[in-house]
């Protein structure tokens, strides 16, 4: 709306404050606020902002005018009010390096992650650690307490908290030293001695535990009279029936069941120490007799064998807890090959090639260590978030269960067994190559080479039909390789994984013209995608060319949409730095190909709405970018996407230019 002649005349004469006063009296407060701000009449501008019901803008004006009494009063008001107002006021304080005030407001808003970062900026490591503990990020909290103790060795509160965290993760020896230091503080003696008794007992130092319990009872006569009773009292609280939260070893928070079988279950869990998702296999064989002992022996063998193998194509094992009988492994979010084949019985040839070569690389590493997998099958081939193929479940010996009832799960294993496994003869590397040959046949033909019902007889004596007879469009190129993989005598097969890989590399992997993939029994798709084999490869289908070297692709292997960027080396270097940020609030870099000059980025959720910048996750994502020593430089609604978990800051348009203050200033604008 245009100004009235009277207001226009006052503005021409430079009488902005007078014009603002008149507009305020007339009820045109937004325009009045702008005019007050233009002439740095911050007090009056803040008054009008409050009249408009906008305490955040009032706070910004008070900060701009360095009206510290007013800043203090407004900060107290914001802490007690709408949490979203406190969150935005925190952003304003952080942009001005007022970290203590920012942290105070973030805590009021319930944003403990930002508060932890801001407390650190204010050099208040204890408060930062306290927020991290409240978030369950015990490893980061422990590091903050350690840093505090390096600066202030006499901080007994930090020593107590660090000791408790170390105790939680079974670091009893180190925990006891910090707890002993904390116990010298009369005000902390009782909680420190209580935790110290637990640590000493866990190390088997019974006499020392009893001595510490005696000291505890002198300062707290209500403490239990014996160590056992104190341990029962100090043990982790058991969840109620309504509370499904479960912890293993005080460190792994169990989220849900991923799968199970006769000897145990696999759970998705959160590792509180390293702040990452893991898969935990928990042994729970139903039999306590010889069968149960054999099953446990296989479980232990799997743990030890897997832990001894470190390879990019082998599922990593992080920990084996023999006392509690569980195995902690890398969580494979991409699922199994079996699940993929149920959805697409005959994958594209490029996918088949990549999967088999990945498994062969894993087998090469295992065979070099004298390890034969003995159970290579699609259910034991996994994919991580980036689509990397990994072989898992080492050490399982299902041949010992041949006398059991032939359940569907057992038949699934028998379908991939070599003749020598069935007859009980010795196994070697060729045993795994036979099983992988069955997997390869299934992917190429869309069916198993032996379909039963007498799988034992078929594996021992029947020659499978050549692939060329099942899929004529491929010709005879694959027949010899498959025949060698599936030879009955081990001596007639490939001698090693390396030899088999070389034979596969020599085969043509170009999709036959006019032939589409065969889908499994899973949900059908409306149309079979036409996969461009160049430059994106058979795994990716182009969806939308944004221009400027940016192309949206469908990842056919993982069923998601990703973004490929073509960029010069300096741009790729910047994206690589952003890619080191491990955060769910910042767009992830999935792959970097410096030779091709491309980067592959995730494309989460949906495009954001016009008010996306007010989402608290945007400020948090930018905070994590700044904590990594980076600047976004192009903050806008277009650089935000929203999914069910919240908002994600995109980096595909980041320039890396400007300052953190410039980024944060984009999040808060005065109302008009």
Positive/negative CA dihedral, 291, 297, 303, 306 = negative
CA dist 149 and 158 (Å) reads 7
Whether residue 394 contacts residue 309, with contact meaning beta carbons closer than 8 Å, is answered with yes
Query: DSSP assignment of 299-320, as one string?
Result: HHHHHHHHHH---TTB--EEEE
239 burial level (CB within 10 Å; 0-12, 13-18, 19+): exposed
Are 318 and 330 contacting, i.e. CB atoms less than 8 angstroms apart?
yes
How crowded is residue 432: how many other Cβ atoms within 10 Å of its Cβ? 27
3-class SS at 567? coil
Interacting residues of 456 by C-beta distance below 8 A, sequence separation 6+:
414, 422
First vs last C-alpha separation in the chain: 11
Helix (H), strand (E) at residue 10: helix 5-12
- DSSP codes joined into one string, 47-93: HHHHHTT-HHHHHHHHHHTT-HHHHHHHHHHHHHS-HHHHHHHHHHH
Catalytic residue among 47, 111, 375, 652: 375
Q: What is the DSSP string of 425-444?
A: ----HHHHHHHHHHHHHHHH
Rg (CA), the chain: 32
Buried (b) or exposed (e) across 193-206, using 16+ Cβ within 10 A?
bbbbbbbbbbeebe
Q: In what side-by-side order are the strands of the sheet with 640-643?
A: 606-607, 640-643, 646-649
Two tokens, residue 483:
């025949």
Residue 86 CA to residue 94 CA, distance in Å, equals 12
375 classed as catalytic: yes
Catalytic residues: 375
């Amino acid at each position: 709306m245009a100004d009235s002649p009277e207001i226009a005349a006052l503005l021409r004469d430079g009488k902005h404050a007078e014009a603002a006063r008149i507009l305020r009296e007339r009820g045109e407060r937004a325009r009045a606020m702008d005019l007050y701000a233009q002439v740095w009449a911050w007090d009056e501008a803040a008054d009008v902002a409050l009249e408009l019901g906008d305490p955040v803008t009032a706070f910004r004006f008070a900060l701009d005018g360095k009206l510290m009494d007013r800043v203090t009063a407004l900060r107290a008001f914001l802490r007690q009010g709408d949490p979203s107002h406190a969150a935005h006021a925190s952003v304003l304080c952080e942009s001005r390096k007022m970290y203590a005030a920012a942290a105070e407001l973030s805590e009021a808003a319930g944003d403990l992650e930002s508060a932890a970062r801001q407390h650190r900026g204010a050099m208040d490591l204890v408060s930062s650690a306290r927020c991290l503990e409240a978030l369950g990020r015990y490893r980061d909290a422990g590091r903050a307490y350690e840093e505090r103790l390096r600066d202030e060795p006499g901080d007994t509160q930090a020593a107590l908290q660090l000791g408790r965290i170390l105790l939680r993760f079974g670091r009893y020896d180190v925990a006891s030293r910090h707890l002993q230091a904390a116990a010298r503080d009369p005000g902390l003696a009782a909680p420190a001695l209580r935790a110290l008794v637990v640590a000493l007992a866990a190390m088997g130092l019974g006499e020392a535990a009893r001595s510490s319990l005696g000291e505890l009872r002198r300062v707290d006569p209500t403490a239990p009279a014996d160590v056992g009773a104190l341990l029962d009292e100090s043990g982790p609280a058991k969840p109620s029936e309504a509370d499904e939260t479960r912890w293993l070893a005080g460190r792994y928070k169990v989220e849900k069941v991923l799968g199970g079988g006769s000897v145990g279950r696999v759970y998705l869990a959160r590792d509180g120490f390293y702040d990452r998702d893991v898969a935990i296999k928990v042994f729970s064989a139903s039999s306590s007799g010889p069968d149960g002992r054999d099953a446990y022996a296989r479980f232990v063998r799997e743990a030890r064998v897997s832990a001894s193998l470190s390879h990019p194509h082998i599922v990593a094992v992080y920990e084996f807890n023999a006392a509690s009988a569980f195995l902690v492994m890398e969580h494979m979010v991409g699922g199994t090959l079996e699940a993929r084949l149920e959805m697409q019985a005959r994958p594209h040839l490029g996918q088949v090639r990549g999967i088999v070569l990945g498994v062969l690389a894993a087998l090469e590493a295992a065979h070099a260590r004298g390890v034969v997998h003995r159970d290579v099958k699609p259910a034991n081939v996994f994919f991580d978030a980036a689509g990397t193929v990994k072989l898992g479940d080492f050490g399982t010996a299902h041949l010992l269960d041949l006398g059991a009832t032939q359940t569907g799960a057992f038949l699934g294993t028998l379908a991939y067994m070599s003749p020598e496994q069935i007859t009980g003869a010795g196994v070697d590397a060729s045993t795994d190559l036979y099983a992988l040959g069955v997997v390869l046949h299934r992917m190429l033909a869309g069916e198993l080479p032996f379909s039963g019902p007498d799988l034992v007889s078929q594996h021992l004596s029947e020659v499978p039909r050549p692939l060329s007879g099942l899929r004529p469009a491929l010709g005879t190129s694959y027949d010899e390789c498959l025949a060698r993989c599936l030879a009955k005598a081990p001596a007639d097969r490939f001698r090693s994984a390396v030899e088999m890989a070389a034979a596969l590399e020599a085969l043509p992997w170009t999709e036959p013209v006019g032939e589409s993939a065969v889908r499994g029994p899973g949900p059908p798709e409306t149309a079979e995608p036409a996969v461009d084999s160049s430059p994106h490869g058979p795994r990716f289908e182009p969806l939308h060319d944004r221009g400027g070297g940016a192309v949206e692709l469908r990842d056919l292997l993982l069923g998601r949409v990703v973004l490929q960027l073509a960029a010069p080396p300096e741009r790729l270097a910047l994206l690589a730095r952003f890619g080191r940020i491990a955060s769910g609030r910042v767009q992830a870099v999935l792959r970097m190909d410096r030779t091709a000059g491309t980067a592959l980025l995730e494309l989460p959720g949906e495009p954001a709405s016009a008010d996306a910048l007010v989402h608290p996750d945007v400020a948090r994502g930018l905070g994590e970018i700044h904590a990594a020593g980076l600047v976004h430089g192009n903050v806008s609604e277009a650089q935000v996407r929203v999914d069910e978990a919240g908002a994600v800051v995109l980096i595909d348009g980041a320039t890396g230019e400007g300052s953190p203050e410039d980024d944060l200033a984009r999040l808060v604008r005065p109302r008009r």
